[in-house]
A and B are shown apart, each in its own frame.
Chain A
Amino acid sequence: MTSLGDAPIVLTEGTHPFLERFDPKFLAAASANAREMRFETDEYVFREGERAQRFFLILEGKVGLEIEAADRPRLTVQTIGPGEVMGWAWLVHPYHWPVAARALKPTRAIALDTFVLHRYFKLHPDVGYRFVLRLMPVIAKRLDDTRVQLADIHA
C-alpha cells in the first residue's frame, strides 16, 4: 500500500539532485504539502487520465511508464529510477496524466503538490522560469531517447 510519510518534509538542496541550487525560500514553500511516498512493486503511482497534481522526485526504486490501448496489452515504454524526476503533465493543458506509472520494484519518491508550485511561480515568475529551465533538459533528453527508441536501434 502507498503510505504517506507522517512527518512533513522539509526540502533541502540535498533532498534530490533536481533541487540543487534552488533558493531556500522556494524550497521552504515547496515543502508545504510535500510528501514522501512509498510504492510496493506493481502499485500504481498514477493512472492514465487522472488529474496531474503531483511532481515526483524519485529517491529509490524503479517506475515504469505504461501506455494502454483497448486492442493490445499494456506496454511499458520507459523506466525511471533514482535521481530522476517524473511527471510534467501538471504544466501542460489539460493537466491529465497521458500515461500510467507503475512501481516495478519497491519505490520511494517525494511528491510535490503542484498547486503549491503553481501558486509560488505566479508570485515569483523568476523562480518559475528557473524551474522550467531545469525541467527542459529532462524533457529534451526524454524526447531524444524516444527518438532513438523509434530508430529501432536494438534490431
Chain B
Amino acid sequence: MSTLLEISGVNKSFGGLQALDDVNLKVNEGTVHAIIGPNGAGKSTLLNAIIGKLVPDTGTVKFDGKDMIGVQPHQINQHGISRVFQTPEIFGELTILENMMIPLLAHRDGAFKPALWSRSDAQGDILERAEHFLSDMNLWGKKEVHAASLSRGDKRRLELAMCLSQDPKLLLLDEPTAGMARADTNNTIDLLKTIAGRGITMAIIEHDMHVVFSLSQRISVLAQGHVICEGLPEEIKTDPRVREAYLGGAEV
C-alpha cells in the first residue's frame, strides 16, 4: 500500500496558541483514515494546512509524492484533493444545479477557461454528470432551488456531491454527520462506505464514534495540536491515552 498523503513535522501557531504541534501523519491510498480528538484539538486546522488555506510555520505536506507547501489552493484541488467543510461551503445564492456544475466545469476545463460564448445549458456531458450525482443525493428534484434555502443535511449532501463529482484522489471530510439525525447519519455512513468501496481515499474528522468505527481502517488521535497516538481502530478503542485526552469522555 502506498502513501498518498504524508504530513511531517507540521507546526502552526496562532499568536501564542500552538494549534499544530509537530504533526506527523500518513494516509495510505485506498483507505479511510479517521482523525479524532477533543474540540479545539487542531483537526480542522490540519485540514486547512493540507488544502493550502494556511501555510504551516514549519514542516512538509506531501501529496502523491509532490510537495504541497506554498502551492495555491486551486492547484492543490486540481492535484486531486477535495474537502467537505465543517460548516457547508456552497454557493448559497445559486441554484443547486449551478452549484453542481461549477466543480464539474473545474474538473473538466481546469483552473481557468474563459468559455464566454457557449451556453451552460448546452453542456451535455456536464449536465448528465450533475444529474447523476444529484440523484445519488436525492437532490435532483430540487435542482432549481437556491442552495441557501436547503436544510443543513441537504447542504452537506450537496457539498459532498460537489466534491465527489471532481473524482478526487483524496476526499477530506470535516464532521460530515454533525447535526444529523440518527437515520441520516446511518445513510451517510452507507454512502461513505460505497464511496470508499470505489477506492477513493478519505481522511475523515468525526466526533461520532459509531461513524468512526464503522468506516475507518486507521485512526489518528489529535490533542492540543499533537498526534498522541495512531493505530488500528481496535488499538485506539483500548488505548488509555485516548481516554485521558477525552477527559473520560463516555463515547470512547
Bound pair: A and B? no
Instruction: List B residues at the A interface (Cβ < 8 Å).
Output: none
Instruction: List A residues at the B interface (Cβ < 8 Å).
Output: none
